[in-house]
Structure 1
């Protein structure tokens, strides 16, 4: 994928709310943070933290601050996964 196509895809993932938030987040982590699909698939809601309005994702030892457009699908995943747990669904975190 050349740079132009990569940025076009990143823009779509950032702004197209017709895509599922988990797909948007996974694609953004791949394109913007160079995360391998295997690493993305191991992330859980416990890797995402929100403190004082800042959203951070633990990709390694040091959490990464997520900018607003990337934080949005991350927080959506936390909300969806935690609400499923409250409803006694067995969806994976």
Structure 2
């Protein structure tokens, strides 16, 4: 499982080399991204970013649905959120649905 909190164009370009990439204004936004290997294909069933108010902790909750193939697949998930404050902690809560 790979998880990223991306706050700059340099980080974004280093991680995502495929062109074209969507344009993101990293002065105003943060990109949360992850990738989970699944052995039966799969897809994102839901994803939600939440945070308690006040507080510097964020949760990126992702639910993955299994597929019906026997292909090993990297399922990717992304969220563009308002720029996270310095020191913000992001927890990735990735669950595989039955």
The interval holding the TM-score normalised by the smaller chain is under 0.3
- TM-score (normalised: structure 2): 0.26
Higher-Rg member (1/2): 2
Please identify which structure carries the higher strand content. 2
Please identify which structure carries the higher helix content. 1
Larger RCO of the pair (alpha carbons < 8 Å, separation 6+): 2
